[in-house]
Amino acid sequence: MSMTESGLELEQLRQARDLLENPGLAARISDVMGTPIERGFELLPERWSQVVNAATRKAIESTLDIALGSMNADRRGAPSNLWHKAAATATGATGGAFGLAALAVELPVSTGIMLRSIADIARSEGEDLAGAEARVQCLQVLALGGRSRGDDAAETGYFAARATMARAVSEAASHLARKGLAEKSAPALVRLISQVASRFSIVVSEKAAAQAVPLAGAFGGAAINAVFIDHFQDMARGHFIVRRLERSHGTEAVRRMYAELAGEECGQPRLP
């Protein structure tokens, strides 16, 4: 049965596309804070981008074991989204109380919690977390939540982001399947971390800007982290719905239907 014949699967793909193409983290944080996030960027200290970039890379490197090595592949059931969100919210309260200075300490913790949540969602969509490919895909979700500064404005969609990272993802999965995490400095893993970090840092910058607002404090930090993990839970849900449908119908068929849904949204004719 094709997706066009399955109304449920078509609706699931539409849901996934809505999640993946309309992330809007900055707008959601601004709604929570009650002030435009641009105000936070103005308040960040000099060289703040270096602090954010260093914290982002450290967070990814320090959570590799969680992302790629220690997920429970045998766990079953629905993802524990609320539990993970509560844990991230509590971590955000600490970060919010101490501002940008706490980012290097708080971010690895919240990133680790998010990766656990992403893995839970992946598992619920049928991913086999015993395999290296599924584990690398969990890490890739961190890159789907933000656009790289080098992205072409015309090529910033979900499938374009996946295509940009395809080689790094494939090589990292192959390396992990052969050698595991014994060689964390292997070129394949270093390339993947670099690509994920370049995109993840965009979203972390928005989080840092929000926490720089004087009124943020512990309560604001908790609220920001709740929005932060919710954002990546949405990205994970969309990504792993697409991958589940690809396993059933093939990548090209899903991609064509994804584009067709975009055409319908813009009032364009259906694809042949």
71: buried, middle or exposed (CB in 10 Å: 19+, 13-18, 0-12)? buried
Tell whether the model's pLDDT for residue 55 goes beyond 50: yes
Question: Where is average pLDDT lowest: 5-14, 125-134, 185-194, 217-226?
Answer: 217-226
The rounded distance, in Å, linking the Cα atoms of 125 and 240 is 6
Chain position carrying tokens 């000099």: 46
Block residue for tokens 């929570």: 32
How confident is the model over 93-112, as pLDDT tens digits? Answer: 555 445 566 677 788 888 88
With b for 16 or more beta-carbon neighbours within 10 A and e for fewer, the 127-152 pattern comes to: bebeebbbbbbbbbbbbbbbbbeebe
Sorting pLDDT into bands at 50, 70 and 90, what band is 172? Answer: very high
For residue 271, pLDDT over 50 is answered with no
From 114-123, 178-187, 192-201, 235-244, the region with the lowest mean pLDDT: 178-187
With contact defined as beta carbons under 8 Å apart, do 73 and 22 qualify? no
**pLDDT higher at 171 or 70:** 171
3-state secondary structure at position 270? coil
What's the predicted TM-score (pTM) here? 0.84
pLDDT at residue 186 is higher than 70:
yes
Tell me what the mean pLDDT of segment 24-51 comes to.
72
CB-CB contact of 165 with 152 (8 Å): no
Instruction: Tell me the percentage of the chain whose pLDDT exceeds 90.
Output: 34
